[in-house]
Structure 1
């Protein structure tokens, strides 16, 4: 599953409570994000009666971070700055054979989601691991199940309901322009998008769709993304890609047209209100 030689964590949806869960005392955790952009985040967390302030940086080759204890009073002063970017859960820690297992029961808007995380010593143990009956779909590589993603965007959608798309962009005369393509019917302007593929990460799927549908190559930043619900009920996770090259020929060149539009014109071409709102959010982040 992974080439890592160090400890590995694997995350699953919990479909039923294991017997040992009744004996594991739960700790209430509430966490909120003050800042989360461009691979950097600042968050506060209450874990039972303890309070923490954490900073994390994912912009380099490895994740770095720092966490300090703070007082209840300091936490309460910082908590209002996390409005709209919070998540609450009840955490149980227990053994699964010789392995450590962590179960989070989410409350509030994220209920009734329950996730189990298994801690494995190395890749060999991960390959040999056989999941128990109470473990459902594995979501280790699905970004929408990351704590920060859920805090900001809400609970993940059921498997199969979420599409993955690319917002290709460039600057012309210092003004943001977006690349749109026509739908397969040719009567709408849309962004390249597709469904999750087995053994591919979401951003890998998005890059693949950009090449196949729009013939565009570029730099994708995984932290520069947003998620929205479209008018047909489906969800779209949209990644921003800075265009580096437009291919002269591409797999769907015969069935789609592509065109660069100034941001204001692109928003007029997008007929879906939810998608237009998501594009505005990404445009603000791109222009920073």
Structure 2
């Protein structure tokens, strides 16, 4: 998509960088998108009456079957372009909230529509096509290495 094809103003979305600790170190969750099968984090549109971090929590549940609590403030954001159903292009800005996973369910709303993978932050970054999201995953990995904790 070039600049002419994109809506003049970015459209806001909210996403969850889902993470958990394992005996082999921290892991982050990636899921595939429904349309293209690209690797991504759970994300979605604002929901009336829900705070942004609660939207991120809901998207994590619906798209990946994970339950946890998102931090109150965004960890960062990334930008990507999307072809909308009406044929127009849109630039989306996703505010990303860290979400520590407490439980994973086998059954969830979009389980038949997506694949998921738990990866190290650097492995996840290599699968991502959006440079800003790749940087966020690497930033998270550095933060965990530096502090030695996942909170």
Quickly name the TM-score band, shorter chain normalised: 0.7 to 0.9
Matched, 1:273 2:123: no
Q: In the aligned structure 2, how far is the partner of 1:286 from the partner of 1:207? A: 21
Q: Structure 1 pair 162/282, CA: closer, same or farther in 2 (3 Å)?
A: farther
The question of whether the paired residues in 2 share the 8 Å contact of 1:180 and 1:190 is answered with: yes
For 1:219, the equivalent position in structure 2 comes to 69
* 1:255/1:172 CA distance change after superposition, 3 Å: same
Cα contact 1:168–1:179 (8 A) shared by 2: yes
| Corresponding position: 1:169 with 2:27 | no
Which of 62, 68, 93 pairs up with 1:235? Answer: 93
- The residue that corresponds to 2:39 in the other structure is 189
Secondary structure of the structure 2 residue equivalent to 1:170: strand
1:209 aligned to 2:59? yes
Instruction: Give, in angstroms, the shift of residue 216 of structure 1.
Output: 0.2
Tell me how far apart the structure 2 counterparts of residues 179 and 209 of structure 1 sit (CA, whole Å).
13
From the superposition, tell whether residues 231 and 286 of structure 1 become closer, same or farther in structure 2 (CA, over 3 Å).
farther
**Would the alpha carbon gap of residues 201 and 163 (structure 1) be closer, same or farther in structure 2, given more than 3 Å must change?**
same
Structure 2: distance between partners of 1:186 and 1:172: 30
In 1, are the aligned partners of 2:125 and 2:133 still within 8 Å (CA)? Answer: no
Aligned residue pairs total: 131
Distance verdict in 2 for CA 1:185–1:230, change over 3 Å: closer
Name the TM-score, length of structure 2 as normaliser.
0.77
1:258 counterpart residue number: 116
Equivalent-residue separation in structure 1 for 2:65 and 2:76 (angstroms): 22
1:84-110 residue CA offsets vs partner (Å, 9 max, x unmatched): xxxxxxxxxxxxxxxxxxxxxxxxxxx
Unaligned runs of 5+ in 1: 1-157
Query: Once superposed, what is the RMSD of the aligned Cα atoms?
Result: 2.1
What is the distance in 1 between the residues matched to 2:58 and 2:71? 15
Contact kept? 2:54, 2:70, Cα under 8 Å = no
Q: Which consecutive residues of structure 2, in runs of 5 or more, have no partner in the other structure?
A: 1-8, 83-90
Determine helix, strand or coil for the equivalent of 1:206. Answer: helix
TM-score, normalised with respect to structure 1: 0.42
